[in-house]
Amino acid sequence: MKFINSVLFTLAATVATSAAFAPAQFGVRPTVQLEAKKSIADLSEEELKGKKVLIRCDVNVPLDGKTITDDTRIRSSIPTIEYLKGKGAIVTVCSHLGRPKDGPEDKFSLGPCAERMGELLDQEVKLIGDCIGDEVTAAVDGASEGDVFMLENTRFYKEEEKNESEFVEKLAAPFDLYVNDAFGTAHRAHASTEGVTKFLSPSVSGFLLAKELEYLDGAVTDGKKPMAAIVGGSKVSSKITVLNALLDKCDKVVIGGGMVFTFLKAKGLEVGTSLVEEDYLETAKEVMAKAEKLGKEILLPVDIIVADKFDAEAETQVVSFDAIPEGWMGLDNGPESTKAQKEALADCKTIIMNGPMGVFEFEKFNKGTFGIVDILADLSKDGDAITIIGGGDSVAATEQSGRAGDMSHISTGGGASLELLEGKVLPGVAALDEA
């Protein structure tokens, strides 16, 4: 059974309560590497019943003290855990949280995550005070079918990120098989994402990882045309690889955010005190020349909201893209730019957004970002476009806008989304068993 189709069929059949995990609409993708990986849907009930399963989830959620401010990543892990429980497995979740520097730190404990997961599962999720050792073994060995545990933060050990073999073996030791459902860390070859696959067999994908691959890889390799990419953010340097990759695949590319001003300056325009990467002016020229050679359309803003300083309470005005005043900086797209984007995207069937159009954290400069989010949401809700939000800031803006539920897919991975869109191999995926 092929990786994506088997996973999404089972998901639709067994986890109907999670509407966010509906199948994608790309059909069978030609990428052999991804389709040839096993998923939990490929395992028989006998392979799961009574088995001790280590599942890598991504519960790296934002916290205000001990209060979770956004539980999206925890909620996204529930369908796979419910499925494993339903098959009689003993489920143990591992994850990281934050960036601990020197061993355990209480502020990075997974206690709040275990508590929230328990609420969502309507059962106790016991936090084990370590991620390796006798305490873990004793808890798992004494468990009953359907029990769920959570290991303490794997990054309390520096060996996690180093993928150190002795640590990997200790992490894997109490378990029978491994499930990776953490797309957000699949681009890292860490102990809990790649190393344990050397000691646990089978090692397979969960539903969330499959859904991410279906949408993101499916869009790039086999997305319906016309296809558009929206690439925003502050710097060309951080987006140039994905920009070039998407330019190869897409018919239209909308460029927004601070990176706009490097492109405008590369065209010979004055940009005031706007953010410019001088070292990337030639790169911007090369991107525009490439687009022209390929017959692709690049959309830059036609008007800009400028400010006299970088401040939420700054004085603002709307100016043409070629009339930015000296001493003023561009911080958002103007209304005519949003209108132009709506017209350009109207016929697109696949749209990928990675990065905001402006400093949306400030109310005065959120209209460009929220405007394009509305465009995508309407195309997805009222039309037949596939809309994919990939990247941390894009996801945050979409959630803030209140239109997240109207998108086809919102990625749980920031760096992983970028690397997949760039065409890179994700170690956490490559390490899974072949079908």
Residue type for 145, please? E
392 flagged as catalytic = yes
3-state SS class at 314: coil
Structure tokens at 370: 């929220």
Residue type for 272, please? G
Our measurement of the distance from residue 56's CA atom to the centroid of its chain's CA atoms, rounded to an integer in Å, reads: 15
> Exactly one of 133, 392, 414, 423 is catalytic; which is it?
392
Summarised one tens digit per residue, pLDDT across range 122-174 is 999 999 999 999 999 999 999 999 999 999 999 999 999 999 999 999 999 99
Closest to 369 (Cα-Cα) out of 397, 396, 391, 350: 397
* Site of tokens 């096993």: 38
50 flagged as catalytic = no
414 flagged as catalytic = no
3-state SS class at 51: coil
Residue type for 414, please? G
Structure tokens at 67: 């209060």
Summarised one tens digit per residue, pLDDT across range 33-69 is 445 579 999 999 999 999 999 999 999 998 999 999 8
> Exactly one of 98, 146, 415, 423 is catalytic; which is it?
415
Which has the minimum average pLDDT: 50-64, 118-132, 205-219, 256-270? Answer: 205-219
Contact 390, 413 (CB under 8 A): yes
> Exactly one of 37, 52, 73, 239 is catalytic; which is it?
73
- When pLDDT is averaged across residues 336-349 and rounded to a whole number, the result is 97
Cα distance between residue 377 and residue 295, in whole Å: 27
Contact 24, 8 (CB under 8 A): yes
My answer on whether omega of the bond before 202 falls inside 30° of 0, hence cis, is yes
254, burial (CB in 10 Å: exposed 0-12, middle 13-18, buried 19+):
buried
Closest to 223 (Cα-Cα) out of 351, 113, 73: 351
Contact residues for 304 (Cβ-Cβ < 8 A; gap 6+)? 260, 318, 319, 320, 321, 324, 330, 332, 333, 334, 337
* Site of tokens 């934002």: 62
Contact 380, 387 (CB under 8 A): yes
Cα distance between the two ends of the chain: 7
> Exactly one of 2, 75, 126, 235 is catalytic; which is it?
235
Reported pTM: 0.80
86 flagged as catalytic = no
3-state SS class at 278: helix
Count of CB atoms within 10 A of residue 28's CB? 11
How would residue 28 be classed by pLDDT, with cut points 50, 70 and 90? very low
DSSP string for 174-187:
T-SEEEE--GGGTT
